[in-house]
Amino acid sequence: MNGAPGCSPGERGALPKRRWYRGVFATSSPMGAGSSFLLRKGWVAVKDVEALRSEALAGIAAALDEATLERARVEWLGRKGPLMDALRGIKDAPAAERRDLGLALNRLRDELEAAMAARQAELRETALAVRMQAETLDVTLPGRPRALGGPHPLQLAEDALVRALRQLGFRLAEGPEVESEELNFEALNIPKDHPAREMHDTFFVADLPGYVLRTHTSPVQIRSMRAHAPAPVRIITVGRVYRRDDDVTHSPVFHQMEGLAIGEGIGMQHLKATLYEFCRAIFGRDVRIRLRPSYFPFTEPSAEVDIGCVFCGGNGCRICKGTGFIEILGSGMVHPHVLREGGYDPQIQTGFAFGVGVERIAMLRYGIDDVRLLFQNDLRLLRQF
């Protein structure tokens, strides 16, 4: 007989260890403790249903989460649970009790099922409330502001330079920052031992003989010519250049923009017109320019270009040292040696070139008087752009 309901205290040890069996039958066996009839017949008296009821309800109420509640359902209402045992035992009850017992047990089953459902709803509600509490989102809180960055003044100057020359038909070209000595110097007519090399305090590259950190953007001239010769070219390039000096007015890393135009019949007048339009785009339509004879190994003739001082309007001040002019770039007609290096015939094609310091343009355009300010990344300066 399976887990016979009703037993004497002395026989309990042999029965399955279900709490209910102890709770109900140890205390309230219809035949009194130790009834052998109950052990044999396995039915529950009507008055014992109440004990089963209260224990099952306590078990349901004690479940604090749905998983525990599910275990309680299996324990109390499951096929192997005491209620089903009791229902199966009805047929063995004395005829007089059977009807009431059946009614009581079925009512109990309905009641327990209802209690389960109610408890489950309750647990779900609490769980939801707890979650809602934990996941509270106050949509009225102000958002976290995201600081927006802005372009660096050097970038602004670079953009202005590039824009101005693009409008004049120049295309952007590129070259590496680690450059061969050949393109950085020899091809540009700066042979070894040429005094101009000394002005370019050069960084050499360890383990890479014959290469340097480019000291100017001019090697891109050679690269572009070699890529296009004998067709005409009109390019600009911008980028970092390196020189081994570091003081109040010099940074070991700085920026240059280079321009180059090669073709048949290009003369000094084209250079001057281009630079004039370029300066007007950068410094305003009323700007005055002046070309001064100068020397660069890669141009002949060479000219330095000054603009009327943007600080004093040309009357003479501290910044233009009383001259009324400020030097802004170097330029000239491309040297025949450079043309040949680039793959052109100097008898047929000619051209002009110019080189601009981007830092210098930024300082003039924005009235910044110390080059180091451009590299310190102090937000008090950068926020002004």
Residues near ligand DAH, by CB under 6 A = 216, 218, 258, 296, 299, 330-332, 353-355
Specify whether the CB–CB gap between 324 and 318 falls below 8 A: no
User: Taking the complex as a whole, how short is the minimal distance between the CB of residue 205 and ligand DAH, in angstroms?
Assistant: 19
User: Taking the complex as a whole, how short is the minimal distance between the CB of residue 354 and ligand DAH, in angstroms?
Assistant: 5
Classified as helix, coil or strand, 237 is strand
User: Taking the complex as a whole, how short is the minimal distance between the CB of residue 199 and ligand DAH, in angstroms?
Assistant: 8
CB atoms within 10 A of CB 73: 20
135 or 198, CB closer to ligand DAH?
198
User: Taking the complex as a whole, how short is the minimal distance between the CB of residue 360 and ligand DAH, in angstroms?
Assistant: 11
- H helices of 185-323, where? 195-199, 219-228, 268-283
Q: Which residues pair with 313 in a beta bridge?
A: none
29 or 237, CB closer to ligand DAH?
237
User: Taking the complex as a whole, how short is the minimal distance between the CB of residue 221 and ligand DAH, in angstroms?
Assistant: 7
Backbone angles phi, psi at 337, to 5 degrees: -60, -45
User: Taking the complex as a whole, how short is the minimal distance between the CB of residue 208 and ligand DAH, in angstroms?
Assistant: 22
197 or 280, CB closer to ligand DAH?
197
User: Taking the complex as a whole, how short is the minimal distance between the CB of residue 196 and ligand DAH, in angstroms?
Assistant: 9
3-class SS shares of the chain: helix, strand, coil, % to 5 = 45, 20, 35
314 vs 306, 322, 367, CA distance in Å? 11, 9, 16
Of 209, 213, 150, the closest CA to residue 176 belongs to 213
Distance CA 150, CA 152 (A): 6
Residue 86 tokens read as 């009791």
101 or 275, CB closer to ligand DAH?
275
Specify whether the CB–CB gap between 320 and 293 falls below 8 A: no
User: Taking the complex as a whole, how short is the minimal distance between the CB of residue 215 and ligand DAH, in angstroms?
Assistant: 7
63 or 260, CB closer to ligand DAH?
260
Residue 5 tokens read as 């309901």
109 or 226, CB closer to ligand DAH?
226
Of 365, 339, 313, 298, the closest CA to residue 164 belongs to 365
| DSSP string for 21-84 | IIIIIIHH-TT-TT-HHHHHH----GGGHHHHHHHHHHHHHH--SHHHHHHHHHHHHSTTSHHH
Q: Which residues pair with 13 in a beta bridge?
A: none
User: Taking the complex as a whole, how short is the minimal distance between the CB of residue 146 and ligand DAH, in angstroms?
Assistant: 40
Specify whether the CB–CB gap between 331 and 303 falls below 8 A: yes
| DSSP string for 46-63 | GGGHHHHHHHHHHHHHH-
77 or 157, CB closer to ligand DAH?
157
41 or 216, CB closer to ligand DAH?
216
Q: How many CA atoms lie within 13 A of 49 on its CB side?
A: 24
User: Taking the complex as a whole, how short is the minimal distance between the CB of residue 173 and ligand DAH, in angstroms?
Assistant: 13
57 or 196, CB closer to ligand DAH?
196
25 or 354, CB closer to ligand DAH?
354
